[in-house]
Every structure is written in structure tokens, then in C-alpha cells.
A and B are shown apart, each in its own frame.
Chain A
Amino acid sequence: MGLLSKKDAALITDPLADNNPITIQVLGICSALAITAELKASIVMSLSVLFVLGVGNVVISLMRNIIPSKIRIIVQLIVVATLVIIVDQVLKAFAYDLSKTLSVFIGLIITNCIIMGRFEAFALGNGPWRSFLDGIGNALGYAVILIIVGFFRELLGSGTLLGFKVLGDPIEKTGLYALGYENNGFMLLSPMALIVVGIIIWVQRTRNKALVED
């Protein structure tokens, strides 16, 4: 890591594991449950959050000294809303089907606790470069969980990955389906996403006992 100092590198690596926004801080759960039935949707959602959080953190950080503290939440909301609308419009223009799948959840990035949380906790008190790294780091931490959950839900729920039938064709009974395997419909329902996130939390805390609370 010649590019970044050790302290800066930690901004990116910490949220990936031991300070993960979803599994440790338990933020941004709603979108993690709602849109992870397909891997593709998870990836697009992650990219959207990456963009919003990265740019938003920089913008807030640049303005941090001129925002009156009484109205800072409103300013933050305007910044995030602007960015989310950009993402939404881009998706509608270039990936209409996906934007249909993600429906309101792109719009709901505005209310994603991770974003407001990072604005409040980090961007308001740090320079633009460090805020940018923090935004990217947290968005990547979010992305890791979304992609893991999306991977398992799509693989076990629909037997596909990114739309490719990796386990064979369920109708023509090829591949695994020839042996009597069937897709697990429960995986496509939101409760199962919660359970998958729960299992990730369980595994993570078993590997690192320091994360266990109380």
C-alpha cells in the first residue's frame, strides 16, 4: 500500500470486516433484505451506494465548515437526494429492467442509515480525501455483504448466477435437477435474507470473539 498511509488504508479495510456497516453496526439492513434475491440487483445496488456514499462524503466534507450545524441534516438530505436522483435517472435510462427490479429501493438509498451515518460521523469532521476513502470503504463493506447474500439467495433460490443456469435447467431436468434437486423457494423470500445475514454475523463473531457484545 504505497499509495495510502496505514491510517488511510484502515479507512477502507476496517469496514470490510471488523467494522462492517451491515454485520457489525447493523445499518442498511432493509435494502440488504429487499433486493438480494438476485446477484445482479445486489451488484447494481452496491455500485449505486458506492457512488452516492463516495461522492456524498466528499461533498459534505468540502462544505463541512460552512454548513450551520442547526440545519446540517437538511443539507445532508439534499446532497444525498440529489445523488440518488442522478443514480435513479441513469439506471432508468440505461438499465430500465434493473431499475424496475430495484423499484423504490434506489430511491430509498436516501434513507439508508449507512449514508447519513457516515456523513454525520465522518465527513463532517474530516478532510475530503479521507472522507472519500471512508465512503468507499463503507460502501464496499456494504457491497461485500450484499453480494454474499445475493450469491447464496440466487444460487439456492433460482439455481442461477447473474441469470446463468449454473445448476442446470429446472424444466428440462438437466444438471443437478436430473438428480431430483429442486430450487429452494424460501431463499427468494425476504425472511431468508435475514437468516443469511444472521448466519454471516454468526460466522464472523465466531471467528473473532472480540466482536461479541456484552
Chain B
Amino acid sequence: MGLKQNLHNLKEKYKGTKMAPAFNAIHTFLYLPNETTHGGTHIKAADDLKRTMNTVIMALVPCLLFGMFNAGYQHNAAINGFTEGMSFFSGDFWNMDNFLVGLTKILPLVIVSYLVGLVIEFIFAVIKGHEVEEGYLVTGMLVPLIVPVDLPLWMLAVAVAFGVVIGKEVFGGTGMNILNPALTIRAFLFFAYPTWMSGDKVWVHGAVEAAGTADAISGETVLGSLAQSQPISYSVSDMFFGFIPGSVGETSTLLILLGALFLIFTKIGSWRIMLSSVIGALVMGFIFNQVVDMGWVGETSKFYGLMSLDFWKHLLIGGFAFGAVYMATDPVTAAQTNKGKWIYGFLIGFISIMIRVFNPAYPEGVMLAILLMNVFAPTIDHYVVQGNVKRRLKRLKAKTA
């Protein structure tokens, strides 16, 4: 008897009891259920929730692997010196030394994220007596990618517990949440433990311990140094390939772009939201550039550094690309109507860059912008639908009159 049959037997044995959802979840996650539907009419489709979730995870894996290499690279390079003008496949980046450093730092983050989140999902499924929902599969993968590499694990555990319970379960679980759970978790960390989530010490592994000693490492993110009106020390190709300090998985715009294409090709992510948020960001960036060109903001202004940044470079730095592709497109919290998606995405991009420039205390505007628009998404949908209703009523009147 294989594992599948064992699980099936357990499922039968516990049928109707409180623990049943737990066994069902493991069984259907690993295998096809033993019993198939019969009778009646069916629509046969392969794209169930698990398939959807797994597709997003597949799109995230390159970012995760890159994040591991980058964590090591940033750590080692901070000690031994950076390589100038690396190409994407440079051996200075893709080597075992870097990977091992990253693996030992990031794998625990992934494990803690999944363990805490899934345990809570199982507990709630057992208490409420419904099946375990798949929603956490993606959240659990997103969370380690959007936190700094040196984040203490217990903080992550607390934040995941908070995010899953307050961000999702109190609203009724997967599909009912108003806010993106992964961003809720990050926002919790950001406001609860700001010293671990911002500043120039947390983005590079080892910088916190080295602070104040002779080996001190400066791990300022591009956004951080711009907020202080210092010039960027990274080339455009470094920023595009992702050889820069930042949260674990969000640095490589190239890989995020590939992930975006994959999500669009598989029709999992909405291209409307991705495109419109990029447009929104570019428009806001362009407005700021114009303001600088007009001479309204001088070099002495504290906004000068970020405002004068070429508008298209905003897409390469910070977590904007990652947020726009993987978080803004979350089908549960985004706008549902096509027109609504354009508005929703555009405002995310627009507000992200605005927060980024105007509030140096919150260098990562995209997190707050997406959470804000999550709240407004139902409102946008409501007005889009009402607009349609009105237009059709008018048409009807014109026809009958």
C-alpha cells in the first residue's frame, strides 16, 4: 500500500470528524483524489486553485534562487569588493560560495513562513470545519522574498501569524480577504520592527553584526541613498540584473520581467494591472522630472535626489517591479472589472512613486500603495459596474423611445 492509499484510508476513517480537513488537504495536495465525480453534466478544466497557485510559485522560483545568490554576493562583495560591470551570467555572481551563504539564510525564512502559515491554516480549517484552502501556498512563498535577509526568524513567525489571522482568517479565509496577506505581513513587520526593516544595515547579511566595528558594511539600498540625495553607486545594468542590495527576491527586474511574461502567458496574472501600474509609475516619475526641470525644486531640497531620478529608473529600483507583478495582480484583492483593473493599476503605480519621493521615512511606497488600493478596489469596481448599468439603461431608453 502506497502513501496515497494510506492517506485515502485515513481520509475515510476520519470522515465527518473535525480532523478530516487536515488529511484531505495532504491527500489532495499530493495526489488526485481516489473518487471521481460521476453523473450529471461536468465542465472539465485543469485550472483549479492549486494549479493557479502553483503557477505563481513557479514564476517566483527564479526570483528565490536569484535572491539566494544575491544574498551571498552582497555579503561577500561587501567584504571583498564589488565586481564592476558584471554581465548577467558572470561567475563572480553565480558561484557556490554565494549560493551557500544565501541558502543558509533564506531557506530558514521560507521554512518558517510556510510552517507557521500552514499550521494556522490547518487549525482554522479544523475549527471551522471546512477544507484547508490553498491560498497560503503563494503567500508563504512571497513573504520570504519581500523581507530583508537578516530578519530574525521569530519576528517573521509573529508577523506571519498576525497576517494570516488578522489579514485573512477573520474575513473568512482565502478569497475573502480585503488586503493582500503577504503585504499585510510585511506592513506589520515594517511598523512593528522598523529597525529590522529599513535603514542601511539590514539589507546585506552580516551588516548588523559588523556595525560599529572596523569591518562595518554599508548596505544602503539604491532608494535609501537617493532619499538622502546621494548619487547611485550602481550602474543601470546592475540594477536591471538585480546585483543590488534589497529585500530577498525583489532586486532582479530582469527575472521579474520573465516571471511577468510567464504569468501573462499562462493567463494567471492580469496584464492590464501590470501594464497600467507601470504606466502610472512612469507618469508620476515624469511629472516629478518636469517639476525639477522647471526649477521648482532646487538641489537643496530633500526631495531632489528621488525627484530628479530619470523617470524610467524608478521601475528598476526598490520593490516596485516585484509588487506590480506579483502582489498587485493578486486576483482576490485586485479590482475585478477590466476597466477597474486599469484604474487600480494606474493608481498603484502613481501612488507608489509619490510615497517613495515624498516620504523618505517610508522608502518603499509600493507596499503602502498596493494596500491602499486593495481597500479601494471594491469601490472602483462598484463605480465601473454602475457606469455600465447607466450606459445600458440610456441605450435602452434611446432604443425604446
A interface vs B, CB < 8 Å? 180-182, 184-187, 189, 195, 198, 202
Contact = CB atoms under 8 A, between A and B. Distances in A.
B192 interface: yes
B62 to A, nearest CB: 32
Given A195-B166, A202-B170, A185 B193 contact: yes
Interface string B336-373: 00000000000000000000000000000000000000
23 contacts: A180-B152, A180-B154, A181-B154, A182-B152, A182-B155, A182-B193, A182-B195, A182-B196, A184-B158, A184-B192, A184-B193, A185-B191, A185-B192, A185-B193, A186-B188, A186-B191, A186-B192, A187-B192, A189-B191, A195-B166, A198-B166, A198-B170, A202-B170
B18 to A, nearest CB: 16
B85 interface: no
B364 to A, nearest CB: 16
Main secondary structure of the interface of A (DSSP, over half): helix
Contacts, number: 24
Question: Main secondary structure on chain B at its contact with chain A?
Answer: helix
A19 B154 CA distance: 38
Contacts of B170: 198, 202
B194 A185 contact: yes
Q: Report, as a range, how many residues of chain B touch the other chain.
A: 10 to 19
Nearest to A199: B166
Interface string B166-205: 1000100000000000000000100111111000000000
Nearest to B166: A195
Contacts of B196: 182
B193 to A, nearest CB: 6
Interface in B272-294: none
Contacts of A186: 188, 191-192
Nearest to B155: A182
B105 to A, nearest CB: 16
A178 to B, nearest CB: 14
B278 to A, nearest CB: 30
B152 to A, nearest CB: 6
A189 B196 CA distance: 18
Contacts of B195: 182
